[in-house]
Amino acid sequence: MQIRKSFSFEAAHVLPHHPGKCARLHGHSYRLEVALEGPLQPAGPAAGMVQDFDVIAAAVRGTVLAELDHRSLNDLMENPTAEQIALWIWNRLALELPQLVELVLWETRTSRVVLRAGDPLTRA
């Protein structure tokens, strides 16, 4: 079974190699969707769940949002494209959420990156 939880954050960046307007400082209202997959837990506090949504929220808030929200992403990575940001997020969340199978990062309402477990760039 698969479950998904969505989050949002605000951040600014400059794309230093971009030939157009994205080479100037600008910001986005990002949306992040995290997908976990696995069996229903048979017992304990998450009985009947793949994972408790509160556990997912705590992991995302602590390892991702605390670092990215209201930040200049160039302070964290040299070329913060949507693809690089998605990889940065994956590499942190995969350690906290071993059932992670997919993340989707929307940079705008019409532009997004999808990263899945098994993609060559993921550690999973």
From 93, 86, 85, select the one nearest 115 (Cα to Cα). Answer: 86
Length of the chain in terms of residues written: 124
Catalytic site residue 18? no
Catalytic site residue 78? no
Of 13, 28, 102, 107, which residue is the catalytic one? 107
Of 22, 67, 83, 96, which residue is the catalytic one? 22
Of 33, 70, 78, 83, which residue is the catalytic one? 70
Query: What SS3 class is residue 36?
Result: strand
Interior CA angle at 105 toward 35 and 1, to 5°? 10
Catalytic site residue 33? no
Active-site residues: which are they?
A: 22, 70, 107
